[in-house]
Amino acid sequence: SQQGEEDPQALSIQEGENATMNCSYKTSINNLQWYRQNSGRGLVHLILIRSNEREKHSGRLRVTLDTSKKSSSLLITASRAADTASYFCATVPTGNAGNMLTFGGGTRLMVKP
Amino acid sequence: GAGVSQSPRYKVAKRGQDVALRCDPISGHVSLFWYQQALGQGPEFLTYFQNEAQLDKSGLPSDRFFAERPEGSVSTLKIQRTQQEDSAVYLCASSPRAYEQYFGPGTRLTVT
């Protein structure tokens, strides 16, 4: 079963707008990661935020983590048509020696040119 | 450099057939993971290797699923007597260190 839920399940915006996706999870975690998946392709790692971090930036990406609420958000600023993809959060639960990822259900983002 | 590769990219099997899915990880990566992704869903963990040792197989859905990595490099996921519910994309990922995983393009299995 999946660790949590992502919200919204689908998002459609115009190029240049910002896109915000939210993720909730259930257990305590070591870290939370965001991945992108283009249609028919594998997942690409975007950013990792550790449990003791609250915010992290990478280029046009901004990730926040609230461990008290067991939630995270991914913000993509100034979106481009090429950002069209599915975005997944994934967690590594505390004490997970193998570091296997537990994924959410994903947000399908469409950026219209 | 070369990423994670998987073969075949697409596989159609008749119900009851056995299939074997191959994963070539990035050279030198110690950890290897298999995930199953149903249509419209996020990936779900199947099994994990550290070198040749299968350290966790808790996600394998039934005893029809078997994975191996005999020399600590290439891995094969085998599904015996395939059923329609096995239809999914099977993703392989490798990792050189804790946390960051590099995914292959996946094998899309369709059982008819």
pLDDT greater than 60 at residue B15: yes
- At residue B36, the pLDDT reads 97
User: Is B50 close to A98, i.e. CB distance below 8 A?
Assistant: yes
Question: Could you tell me which chain B residue has the CA closest to the CA of A87?
Answer: B42
Instruction: Give the C-alpha separation, B2 to B34, whole Å.
Output: 19
**Cβ neighbours of B44 in A, within 8 Å:** 1-2, 103
User: Is B42 close to A48, i.e. CB distance below 8 A?
Assistant: no
- At residue B96, the pLDDT reads 85
User: Is B41 close to A42, i.e. CB distance below 8 A?
Assistant: no
- At residue A24, the pLDDT reads 94
- At residue A15, the pLDDT reads 97
Instruction: Give the C-alpha separation, B76 to B56, whole Å.
Output: 15
User: Is A105 close to B44, i.e. CB distance below 8 A?
Assistant: no
- At residue A90, the pLDDT reads 94
Instruction: Give the C-alpha separation, A83 to A112, whole Å.
Output: 10
DSSP notation for A1-40:
--S-EEE-SEEEEETTS-EEEEEE-SS-EEEEEEEEE-TT
Q: Which among A30, A98, A103 has the least Cβ separation from residue B43?
A: A103
pLDDT digit of tens for each residue in chain A (113 aa)? 455 678 899 999 999 999 999 999 998 998 999 999 998 788 999 999 999 999 999 999 999 999 999 999 999 999 999 999 999 999 988 877 677 899 999 999 999 99
| Contact (CB, 8 A) for B31 and A99 | yes
- At residue A52, the pLDDT reads 95
Q: Provide the token pair at A68.
A: 């008290």
Which residues does B53 contact at the CB level (< 8 Å), separation at least 6? none
pLDDT per residue as tens digits for the range B18-42: 999 999 999 999 999 999 999 989 9
pLDDT per residue as tens digits for the range B51-103: 999 999 999 999 999 999 999 999 999 999 999 999 999 999 999 876 789 99
In whole angstroms, how large is the CA radius of gyration of chain B? 13
- At residue A1, the pLDDT reads 46
Instruction: Give the C-alpha separation, B112 to B94, whole Å.
Output: 30
Q: How many CB pairs under 8 A join A and B?
A: 64
Q: Residue B97: helix, strand or coil by DSSP?
A: coil
Half-sphere exposure of B10 (CA within 13 A, CB side): 3
